[in-house]
Amino acid sequence: MNYWGQEYTVLPPKYLNDIKRAERHHLRFFESVKDVFFLKYWIGDLFDSDRMVYTVKKGLNPHLPEATSLCIDEARHAFEEEFGDCETYKFVPTFTALCNIAHRIASKIIVGEELSRDTAFCKASYSYFQGHGLTGGLLLTLPLGLFRDLLAGPFSYYQRVRQRKVIDIVSAKIAARIDDIEQNKDRTPRIDCIEWTLKMLRDFPIEKTKGGSLPLWRMSHELVHLLGASHTPTGIAVTQMVWKMLAYPEYLDPLRQEADAAIAKFGFSHKIVDFLPLQDSFIRETNRLHPNNELGIQRVVCGSPFTFYDGLTLPVGTRVAFPISSYLRDPAIFPQPDVFDGRRYLNLAQADARNEDGVNKWAASHAHAANPAYVAYLGWEVMCALVASLLSA
């Protein structure tokens, strides 16, 4: 099928295990990401380096407990910024407000607290990320045909202007952080991706400019992309969850009681995330019925042909994906698939429901299955922090 101007081979779920076990460089996720919204027209060769992957794996993931606590702290601040005094009722655009909050929370971990609370940066970066959909939608819907590549440059000019504005702000912040590190040898390292990116330069060096300095623009571009990947799906998912709570008010009290009990026991810390099983199930069930994309788990075959367990072989350059939406409504997998059951995943977990080959067939709606190289774990922590704060407000 045609997806964002590219031909994709849509695979049945039986091949998910092969995707999971494949080498990252054999089935490339990043190559397919560039298709979505036609990002390739303004991000260039951003994905040629694996530094973003290692920033997440070696930097973020080992610090998830501390990062989650910061997310929860920032969530409460972000709510105050977005909603202000809530002693009286006020009308707010739900999707915009929740995306802004998710953006502020993720910004604290990706680019640091100063920028997460910098109104100019938040507006500029949010506008840039919105431009992905606007520019991509324009390029998709206009009947450009064979002229798409030729006209994509002019059409995406304004998006590149917005991009440069955001990257320049982050570049200045990285330069300031480098100065701080050099001048304060005994400083306490910060919990954010700027810190981890700089720390990993020893193990994953980056080619310097002709003048011998670090390519701050390139490093900033990577962090900006991580920010977009971590907050946008979260804002969408939380908005859907709010509608579900309103549509099924019988879940409100149990969800609130669970959040209040976890907060009473551990305070607003990372520990509460492990004690919100109903919230976890509610989020997953919402994502199951309303996934962000019809297709997911996209990959591109690179280097050499890829052979699946049953002998099916795909040549180099083949783009593959899975029909997430239809899969998650398959009655052979989910009983009563069109019925919302906020406890579905809680019950499945209690029953230890797993497929015979060890693949958790119910996990496809969860970000980890579709987005392994991105900051999906952070997105999940941001989501839990945001929802817990919303319920306890």
- Output the pLDDT for position 210: 63
pLDDT band at 257 (very low <50, low <70, confident <90, very high): very high
- Output the pLDDT for position 372: 41
pLDDT band at 375 (very low <50, low <70, confident <90, very high): low
- Output the pLDDT for position 37: 81
User: What's the mean pLDDT in 107-130?
Assistant: 93
Query: Which value, to the nearest 10 degrees, does the dihedral of the CA atoms of residues 374, 377, 380, 385 take?
Result: -120
- Output the pLDDT for position 369: 40
Distance of CA 205 to the CA centre of its chain: 25
pLDDT band at 358 (very low <50, low <70, confident <90, very high): very low
63-78 in b/e form (b: 16+ CB < 10 A) is: bbeebbbbbbbbbebb
**Residue among 8, 16, 12 nearest 357 (CA):** 16
- Output the pLDDT for position 116: 94
Q: What is the per-residue DSSP string for 226-258? A: HHHHHHHHHHHHHHHHHHHHHH-GGGHHHHHHH
CA distance 157 to 164: 11
CA distance 180 to 148: 45
Going along the chain, which residue ranges are E strands?
2-3, 6-10, 27-28, 296-301, 306-307, 313-314, 319-322
List the Cα angle 304/327/95 in 5-degree steps.
Answer: 105
Q: 104 with 125: CB under 8 angstroms?
A: no
Q: Give the whole-number percent of the chain exceeding pLDDT 90.
A: 35
Lowest mean pLDDT among 104-113, 231-240, 373-382: 373-382
What is the reported pTM? 0.85
Q: 237 with 292: CB under 8 angstroms?
A: yes
pLDDT in tens, 259-307: 899 888 988 777 888 888 999 999 999 989 998 888 888 899 999 999 9
The structure tokens 């900033």 sit at: 220
How many domains are contained in the chain?
1
The structure tokens 């202000």 sit at: 84
Lowest mean pLDDT among 46-50, 164-168, 219-223: 46-50
pLDDT band at 212 (very low <50, low <70, confident <90, very high): low
CATH code: domain of residue 126? 1.10.630.10
Cα four-point dihedral sign 162, 224, 292, 126:
negative
pLDDT in tens, 64-109: 888 888 888 888 888 888 887 767 777 888 888 888 998 999 999 9
Question: End-to-end CA distance of the chain, in Å?
Answer: 45
Cα four-point dihedral sign 34, 136, 105, 392:
negative
CA distance 348 to 316: 38
Query: Amino acid identity of 275?
Result: F
- Output the pLDDT for position 373: 43
pLDDT in tens, 19-42: 988 988 899 888 888 888 888 888
Q: What is the mean pLDDT of the chain?
A: 85
Which position has the higher pLDDT, 51 or 177? 177
Which position has the higher pLDDT, 254 or 153? 254
**For the chain, what is the radius of gyration of the CA atoms?**
21
Q: Domain residues for 148?
A: 2-392
